[in-house]
Amino acid sequence: MPPHTRVLIIGSGPAAHTAAIYLSRAELKPVLYEGMLANGIAAGGQLTTTTDVENYPGFAQGVGGTELMEAMRAQSARFGTEIRTETVARVDFSARPFRAWVEDEEENAAITADAVIIATGASARRLDLRGEDKYWQNGISACAVCDGAVPIFRQKPLVVIGGGDSAAEEAMFLTKYGKSVTVLVRKDHLRASKTMAKRLLANPKVDVRFNTVATEVVGEDGPRGLMTGLKVKDVRSDGDGKEEVLQANGLFYAVGHDPATKMFRGIVDMDEDGYILTKPGTSYTNVEGVFAAGDVQDKRYRQAITSAGMESLFPPSNMYIHLTNKTGSGCIAALEAEKFLAEQDDIEDVPDGIRDNDDSNTKQAEKATQNGDTAAAAPEYRRNPILAETSKGSKV
């Protein structure tokens, strides 16, 4: 028989492991498929591509991104999450139990689940410049908010590539730490909103270079050599096409992110960029019993470690808040999945004759709510003796 689980979690980042911790502590025995280099990234997600995380509470000396994810994984396993390294390649959410298949599995070898949490994340777009792989995280980053305060960038000349709102925001953020910030824009204008563009161009520490592209990252030799410069050229037809080298100790990409949602297309609702649409303030997708958490549903900021769900409460000002948002999103998905499963169990336990009276029960619950009787209004309150007693007039 193919394996069955109450909750299947697809993903391996902070959102996935936070959901796993909550669900395993609730005795729901979740199964988490972290993937084998899924989307070209090691298990643990985007944090495994970063260096030090310096402002996450509890780590006075900072913590490596990979080390932090290893700790989250260990915590998930400690509470009973079954973690599998295979990569989920295909799903079927047309009926419950939901089905999923790992890579190269036969049709009859589907994993089945009563609920699914999608936490597959998003990856920052790269430009494939010469020297990019060598100096990635040794001067090159796709997240200014995450890495901008790292010592190697302080009081150094920095470069941002991009012309939209994200590029403008990141460039202005970097002025807090860098000596200067140069913004490279391929076109002859900014795509950013008028307000953001005006603010960027007025900043004395920012130099915007239009019609300019990067061609190569240069720097120190050796396995841990740092970036020291960036070759750029003018792309205008009347330009001479010659390259020049800008002194730069940091290069930040602000050219967007790609959500890892390809296998869910046509199955759950998405926006035009492939981000999963959820009911505002929740992790609910359009498929009942399927939830989304983390960067896979985060379009507003599109940072490597941001998450929807709490973004309206916390602006993206530092790594702690980004991680708080992401873990908060995983927590929300877990609690909502747990509630969903509890409601399904309640329905299955109700005899057929009583189940026919659902409309009458709904009306009674609505009336109870209007009268302030919360215990009668919600089944989960009736199961909670403290809330039940409170609803009868006793003081807590």
Alpha-carbon separation of residue 277 from 53, 259, 266, 297, 331 (angstroms): 29, 12, 12, 6, 18
- Label the pairing between strands 111-119 and 290-292: parallel
CA 257 to chain CA mean position, Å: 11
Q: Does residue 331 have an active-site annotation?
A: no
Residues 6+ positions from 314 with CB-CB distance below 8 Å: 321, 324, 325
CB 231 within 8 A of CB 243: yes
The answer to whether the peptide bond before residue 97 is cis (omega within 30 degrees of 0) is: yes
Choosing from 92, 114, 128, 143, the catalytic residue is 143
CA-based nearest residue to 7, from 346, 378, 384, 335: 335
Beta bridge partners of 270: 276
Choosing from 147, 295, 298, 331, the catalytic residue is 147
Compute the half-sphere exposure of residue 146: CA atoms within 13 Å on the CB side of its CA.
Answer: 29
Residue 104: which region, alpha, beta or left (left: phi > 0; alpha: psi -120 to 50)?
A: left
Choosing from 52, 114, 146, 295, the catalytic residue is 146
Active site residues: 143, 146-147
